[in-house]
């Protein structure tokens, strides 16, 4: 690798300081890297370090996916589920990257026309405080109607985000599948559904609705939306030994028993 970039989000505290530190470390190792603001991305690199929270990584991943450029996340946010490093172990992580001790994992994404998402598409009615009827079709065939606050279509990567909080299952990132999760459905029979990523998912409502792409881009639409697998994959660089279930345990406290406090 010769062409590096360091992408940062100036709106996140300490992002500029960590960016400057990383650029200096690279320079001390005889490597040049271009500085990129997350709001002004460009291509032409072999590898990109992304400094910020999961939102910064999601935005960067969507952009660099179409150029097949791998990204490596350095967490400055709260959860940092998509990150592989923190500012405290920055130099050690960089050394491992330069030694080639990492793998690049392809993460499937969602697509609908000009819209793309790595985590999820969320569809909600425009009337705040009221449920909306959502009609679901899979490959053009009716699959069900939901009276709900909204619908989430998530990738395996996004299954640990909004879909999880809405009661959806956790999908291992390498699975070739999507999960469809109704948000607060007004029935006891509505349950999340996992479908192959080869399926075309269609959702329509009786009126206007709002489409959210990774919780970052909002669009008001009034026509049926057809969602399918994107032609591009996000390329996430993961350090050797990074294991999905350990990340679940460490960051989401998955399957961790409660701590009992002796009050006596």
Per-residue b or e along 16-26, where b marks 16 or more CB atoms closer than 10 Å to that residue's CB: eebbebbbeeb
For the chain, the domains span 4-100, 111-230
pLDDT at 255: 72
pLDDT averaged per 10 residues, the chain (length 264): 90 91 93 93 95 92 97 82 81 92 96 96 88 95 95 97 95 96 91 96 94 94 96 94 81 71 53
pLDDT at 70: 97
Contacts of 118 (CB under 8 A, 6+ apart): 58, 61, 62, 65, 107, 109, 110, 155, 157, 158, 214, 234
E strand intervals along the chain: 4-8, 33-37, 47-52, 71-75, 85-86, 102-112, 115-117, 120-125, 132-138, 141-148, 150-154, 177-183, 193-196, 201-204, 209-213, 217-221, 225-239
- For 61: left if phi > 0, alpha if psi spans -120 to 50, otherwise beta; the answer is alpha
Task: Report how far residue 41's alpha carbon sits from residue 60's, in angstroms, rounded to the nearest whole number.
Answer: 8
**Identified catalytic residue from 20, 39, 54, 106:** 54
CATH assignment of 111-230, given 3.40.190.10, 2.60.200.30, 3.40.50.300, 3.40.50.720? 2.60.200.30
pLDDT at 249: 82
pLDDT at 36: 95
pLDDT at 260: 55
Q: Could you identify the residue written with the tokens 């008001």? A: 220
pLDDT at 21: 93
pLDDT at 79: 67
Count Cα atoms within 13 angstroms, Cβ side, for 48: 31
User: What are 99's two structure tokens?
Assistant: 């030694």
Active-site annotation holds for 46: no
CATH assignment of 4-100, given 3.40.50.10330, 3.40.50.620, 3.50.50.60, 2.40.50.100? 3.40.50.10330
pTM as predicted: 0.91
Per-residue DSSP letters for 148-190? ESEEEEE-TGGGGTHHHHTTPPP--TT--EEEEEEES-SSSS-
pLDDT at 5: 96
Q: Could you identify the residue written with the tokens 């009661």? A: 167
**49, 111, 218 from 213: Cα distances, Å:** 23, 10, 7
């Amino acid at each position: 690798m010769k062409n590096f970039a360091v992408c940062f989000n100036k709106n996140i505290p300490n992002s500029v300081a960590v960016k400057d530190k990383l650029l200096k470390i690279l320079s001390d190792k005889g490597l040049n890297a271009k500085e990129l603001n997350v709001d002004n991305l460009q291509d032409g690199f072999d590898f990109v370090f992304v400094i910020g929270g999961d939102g910064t990584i999601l935005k960067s991943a969507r952009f660099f996916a179409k150029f097949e450029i791998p990204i490596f996340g350095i967490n400055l946010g709260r959860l940092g589920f998509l990150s592989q490093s923190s500012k405290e172990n920055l130099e050690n992580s960089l050394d491992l990257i330069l030694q080639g001790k990492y793998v690049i994992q392809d993460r499937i994404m969602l697509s609908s026309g000009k819209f793309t998402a790595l985590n999820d598409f969320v569809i909600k009615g425009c009337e705040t405080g009221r449920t909306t009827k959502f009609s679901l079709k899979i490959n053009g065939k009716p699959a069900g109607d939901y009276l709900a606050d909204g619908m989430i279509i998530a990738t395996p990567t996004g299954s640990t985000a909004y879909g999880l909080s809405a009661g959806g299952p956790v999908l291992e990132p390498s699975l070739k599948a999507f999960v469809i999760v109704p948000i607060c459905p007004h029935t006891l029979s509505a349950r999340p559904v996992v479908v192959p990523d080869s399926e075309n998912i269609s959702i329509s409502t009786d009126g206007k609705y709002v489409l959210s792409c990774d919780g970052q881009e909002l669009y008001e639409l009034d026509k049926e939306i057809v969602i399918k697998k994107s032609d591009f994959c996000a390329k996430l660089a993961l350090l050797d030994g990074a294991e999905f279930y350990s990340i679940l345990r460490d960051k989401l406290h998955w399957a961790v028993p409660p701590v009992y406090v002796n009050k006596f």
